[in-house]
Amino acid sequence: MAKTPKKTVSGESGATVSTLANLWPYMWPADRPDLRMRVLWASLFLVLAKLLTVAIPYFFKWATDALDGANSARDVLPLIITGAVTLVVAYNIARIVSVALNQLRDALFASVGQYAVRKLAFRTFVHMHVLSLRYHLERRTGGLSRIIERGTKGIETIVRFTILNTVPTILEFALTAVILGVSYGIWYLVVVAVTVWLYGWFTIRASDWRIGIRREMNDSDNEANTKAIDSLLNFETVKYFGNEGMEAERFDRSMARYEVAATRIWTSLGWLNFGQGVIFSAGMALAMVMSALEVRAGTQTLGDFVFINAMLMQLSVPLNFIGFVYREIRQGLTDLEQMFDILEVPQEVQDRPDATDLVVTDGAIRFEDVRFAYEANRQILKGISFEVPPGKSVAIVGPSGAGKSTISRLLFRFYDVTSGRITIDGQDIAERRQESVRAAIGIVPQDTVLFNDTIAYNIRYGRVDAADGDVRAAAELAQIGPFIEQLPDGFDTMVGERGLKLSGGEKQRVAIARTILKAPPILVLDEATSALDTHTEQEIQSALDQVSKNRTTLTIAHRLSTIIGADEIIVLRAGEIVERGAHAELLAKGGLYAEMWAMQREASEAEEALRRARQSDALGVIERRRPENVT
């Protein structure tokens, strides 16, 4: 995963505004009037809580003056609130009501925040599945999962703190400034305004500095998580080569970088909090000295001194929230940056606006002068033309890198052709919806990857609404039914991560059963038996022959013995068709196909001779160990 580039201040501001604009539809969802109503009620309680919060110091002031015996002509107490004890009780009741309003506000807004988290996470998940195969071949799963995890948390942070903290903080500061300015003069307002400005300026500068450290920490975290997941997914390979120490060292190097960045994060937070404390304490000290001098001069009461102190102390809470909220929102934006970068990755293969569904009648496939390149300077297919008639079987063979698997990827529209066209029953698949094209094609791949779920789940993946009887019937046709029935949990047996609890042949049979259940009119066999031993290959081939009967079948083969019965065999070399015809015809030509056949024949004969030799040696050992007959 590439490092996130540094941004300028203007770039940061633009990103913040853009992100908040993107989040607004989730905070004020048009299709959820119930959530909009919750936002309105939460906003009302927010305003009431802040009005009450500002009023609380008045009860403290009046109680102090009542205890001091002062009688300021400027302070006329309501007739219903008299006496120090009553004022103390009213002060504490007001505090309780203020807390209650804040908690009610949070409770009302909780569902709004969680809705935003769910919808954005869902949008990201869906977007990941519409991105091209090219993107997924280049991505790093571990880092990607961490980006989505942190981004999801960042959504909640921004949504919650934007409405629940930023707005009330601004409101409380405005009310406090107005009260101090009107009641005690312009200089108190100047002191408070300068203190808040310095506090905000320092907080923003320090937080922006910490954002760079946060990015470094995120990059290290992504790298460590990627290495951990990659190592665990390849657990057997690590064991085969005894590289546990190397993997642990690679992981520890990434965690060491994370450790340094995380330590800097906490150290910088300490300096940020210290600087904030110094600025606010200096401003508060100046205001309190001004009030103390006025009390001594008789222009203020002791209650005024207590009131100003209480107002400033109360102002420290939203000021602390200014710093906290800014840090959280900035860190949330940092976490969201890469998640939104994913959402901005364009969908490479898109349906045209006027695209319609593919209608399959016969299942005839046709490649017409198809050219394709993964990269501009790397041409893979160079004018490929061939046809698979309805219900017939065509095999494609050739050396590694000839472009065989690219043909199946183009047929599934994982990529669009550079030029030429691919048709099914005369319909250009580029003009049809991808979903309908893929629904018409079934595939048994070389590397069958199963979900870490039950055998039944993996077979039913071919048709998710299939009944249990259909799943069992598909397993029987794939010749895996008896094996499943012998398992203690039967079809409810868990297959493990990527199906590792099953053998290669068992996984292939599950893949065949899955394709049988899908019942597609077109079948693609992409080197479906190349990774299996000869005996298992023969068993699997029998099941494949059963599946492909009466279906238009395109076979991409590595082992030529599996495609002898194909109606036509196409031989590719360097992205071009060099030979085509039936098996016997191609052997008679003595070209590339005949060379490949001879080489595989020799390899098979050598493999068989070795197997027989080992079997003979084993029988000899048994014979020598057998005790002599006693007569």
Q: How far apart are CA 394 and CA 556, in angstroms?
A: 9
For residue 443, what pLDDT is reported?
A: 86
What mean pLDDT is predicted for residues 435-452? 86
For the chain, give the percent of residues with pLDDT over 90. 15
Least confident of 66-75, 128-137, 278-287, 309-318: 66-75
What tokens appear for 573 in the block?
């070399």
Sign of CA dihedral 74, 79, 83, 86: negative
Instruction: Tell me which range, 159-168, 227-236, 538-547, 590-599, is most confidently predicted by mean pLDDT.
Output: 590-599
For residue 559, what pLDDT is reported?
A: 78
Least confident of 41-55, 229-243, 587-601: 229-243
> What is the CATH superfamily name and number for domain 365-593?
P-loop containing nucleotide triphosphate hydrolases (3.40.50.300)
For residue 440, what pLDDT is reported?
A: 92
375 forms bridges with which residues in the sheet?
378
Instruction: Tell me which range, 351-365, 446-460, 477-491, is most confidently predicted by mean pLDDT.
Output: 351-365
| Residue in the block written with tokens 């019965």 | 565
Q: How far apart are CA 79 and CA 411, in angstroms?
A: 86
Higher confidence at residue 358 or residue 225? 358
* Burial class (CB within 10 angstroms; exposed 0-12, middle 13-18, buried 19+) of 353: exposed
What mean pLDDT is predicted for residues 605-612? 65
Q: How far apart are CA 404 and CA 396, in angstroms?
A: 7
What mean pLDDT is predicted for residues 198-211? 80
Higher confidence at residue 362 or residue 538? 362
What mean pLDDT is predicted for residues 59-87? 59
Higher confidence at residue 604 or residue 454? 454
Quick one: how far is CA 188 from the chain centroid?
A: 51
What mean pLDDT is predicted for residues 177-205? 82
Least confident of 10-19, 126-135, 496-505, 563-572: 10-19
Q: What are phi and psi of 183, to 5 degrees?
A: -85, -30
> One-letter amino acid identity for 206?
A
Q: Which helix (H) or strand (E) holds 146?
A: helix 141-161
User: Nearest Cα to 91, choosing from 400, 307, 344, 368?
Assistant: 307
Q: Where in the chain is the domain with CATH 1.20.1560.10?
A: 9-344
* Burial class (CB within 10 angstroms; exposed 0-12, middle 13-18, buried 19+) of 482: exposed
> One-letter amino acid identity for 544?
L
Q: Where in the chain is the domain with CATH 3.40.50.300?
A: 365-593
For residue 289, what pLDDT is reported?
A: 87
Q: How confident is the model at residue 73 (pLDDT cuts 50, 70, 90)?
A: very low
Angle (CA) 588-593-598 rounded to 5° is: 85
Given this structure, which CATH class describes domain 9-344? mainly alpha
Q: What is the largest CA-CA distance in the chain?
A: 134
Residue 84 above 70 pLDDT?
Answer: no
Quick one: how far is CA 17 from the chain centroid?
A: 23
Higher confidence at residue 145 or residue 186? 186
Instruction: Tell me which range, 277-286, 395-404, 488-497, 580-589, is most confidently predicted by mean pLDDT.
Output: 580-589
CB 134 within 8 A of CB 375: no
Least confident of 65-74, 583-592, 595-604: 65-74
Instruction: Tell me which range, 9-18, 83-92, 250-259, is most confidently predicted by mean pLDDT.
Output: 250-259
* Burial class (CB within 10 angstroms; exposed 0-12, middle 13-18, buried 19+) of 354: exposed
Q: How confident is the model at residue 79 (pLDDT cuts 50, 70, 90)?
A: very low
For the chain, what's the residue count? 631
Q: How confident is the model at residue 236 (pLDDT cuts 50, 70, 90)?
A: low
Residue 82 above 60 pLDDT?
Answer: no
Higher confidence at residue 598 or residue 625? 598
Instruction: Tell me which range, 20-34, 138-152, 283-297, is most confidently predicted by mean pLDDT.
Output: 283-297
Q: How confident is the model at residue 396 (pLDDT cuts 50, 70, 90)?
A: very high
Higher confidence at residue 377 or residue 416? 416
The answer to whether the pTM exceeds 0.85 is: no
The torsion region of residue 569 among left (phi > 0), alpha (psi -120 to 50) and beta comes to beta
* Per-position DSSP letters for 452-498, written without gaps between them: SSBHHHHHHTTSTT--HHHHHHHHHHTT-HHHHHHSTTGGG-B--GG
CA atoms within 13 A on the CB side of 512: 28
Q: How far apart are CA 329 and CA 324, in angstroms?
A: 8
For residue 9, what pLDDT is reported?
A: 45
For residue 323, what pLDDT is reported?
A: 63
| Residue in the block written with tokens 């070209």 | 591
What mean pLDDT is predicted for residues 476-501? 84
pLDDT in tens, 537-576: 676 777 777 777 888 999 988 778 888 888 999 999 988 9
Least confident of 308-312, 314-318, 429-433, 448-452: 314-318
Q: Which helix (H) or strand (E) holds 624?
A: helix 592-625
